């Protein structure tokens, strides 16, 4: 059964599944990158008129629509597509990753990633989004907001008041946080 939750971003909805959707963590897919996407389920949903991006996590899928698109038509299509997928297979949508983890992270970056993973990512995931560490240089942490957080009106406030304050509190080397 698929449950649908609102997110703080009116252009994004979170579709929760009792089935595992991803074994590799959270990944985001954008319609603008459609020709490079190899996963049939993802391609099909991104081909729905009005769908802009998809974020897949362990047990939820966040879909961000174009402003002009209507949830009245998109929501049943997405639910139906998820149900149809799991009627045909028990396999998660995402099962392997070509992305390799860097093992040469220094201690500060490890601390930043730990705070993002344990304190920030779970809260952002509740709203149908994700936050990815991109870089740390000269006291500035650069992150990418994904899923419902991408383009959300409240994301800058969340970034500055929530993410930046938490990182500055737990990692003294952090001075500020910026979204890329």
CATH code: domain 107-179 is 3.30.300.130
Read off the pLDDT of residues 138-149 as tens digits, 9 standing for 90 and up.
Answer: 999 999 988 887
Strand 129-137 versus strand 60-65 pairing type:
unpaired
pTM for this predicted structure: 0.68
DSSP state of 101: P
Contact 65, 21 (CB under 8 A): no
pLDDT at 100 over 90: no
Q: Which three-class secondary structure state does DSSP give residue 43?
A: helix
Read off the pLDDT of residues 166-176 as tens digits, 9 standing for 90 and up.
Answer: 999 999 999 99
pLDDT at 163 over 50: yes
Q: Quick one: which of 166, 170, 64, 180 has its CA closest to 122?
A: 166
Confidence class for position 155, pLDDT limits 50, 70, 90: confident
Which residues are bridge partners to 132 per DSSP?
144
pLDDT at 97 over 80: no
In which residue ranges of the chain is CATH 3.30.1370.70 found?
2-88
Read off the pLDDT of residues 23-78 as tens digits, 9 standing for 90 and up.
Answer: 988 999 999 999 999 999 999 999 999 999 999 999 999 999 999 999 999 999 99
CATH class of 2-88: alpha beta
More confident: 111 or 155: 111
Dihedral angle over CA of 92, 130, 141, 120, nearest 10: -110
Q: What is the pLDDT of residue 105?
A: 53
Q: What is the pLDDT of residue 45?
A: 96
Q: Which three-class secondary structure state does DSSP give residue 65?
A: strand
Cα separation, 125 vs 129, in Å, equals 5
């Amino acid at each position: 059964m698929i449950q649908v939750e609102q997110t703080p971003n009116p252009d994004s909805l979170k579709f929760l599944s009792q089935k595992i959707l991803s074994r590799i963590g959270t990944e985001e897919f954008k319609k603008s990158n459609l020709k490079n996407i190899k996963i049939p389920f993802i391609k099909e949903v991104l081909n729905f008129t009005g769908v802009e991006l998809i974020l897949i996590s362990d047990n939820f899928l966040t879909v961000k629509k174009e402003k002009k698109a209507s949830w009245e038509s998109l929501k049943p299509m997405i639910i139906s597509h998820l149900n149809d997928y799991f009627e045909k297979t028990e396999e998660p949508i995402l099962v392997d990753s070509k992305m390799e983890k860097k093992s040469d992270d220094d201690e500060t970056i490890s601390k930043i990633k730990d705070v993002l993973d344990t304190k920030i990512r779970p809260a952002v995931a509740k709203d149908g989004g994700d936050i990815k560490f991109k870089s740390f240089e000269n006291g500035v942490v650069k992150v990418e907001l994904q899923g419902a957080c991408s383009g959300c009106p409240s994301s800058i406030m969340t970034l500055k008041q929530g993410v930046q304050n938490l990182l500055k509190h737990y990692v003294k080397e952090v001075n500020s946080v910026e979204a890329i």
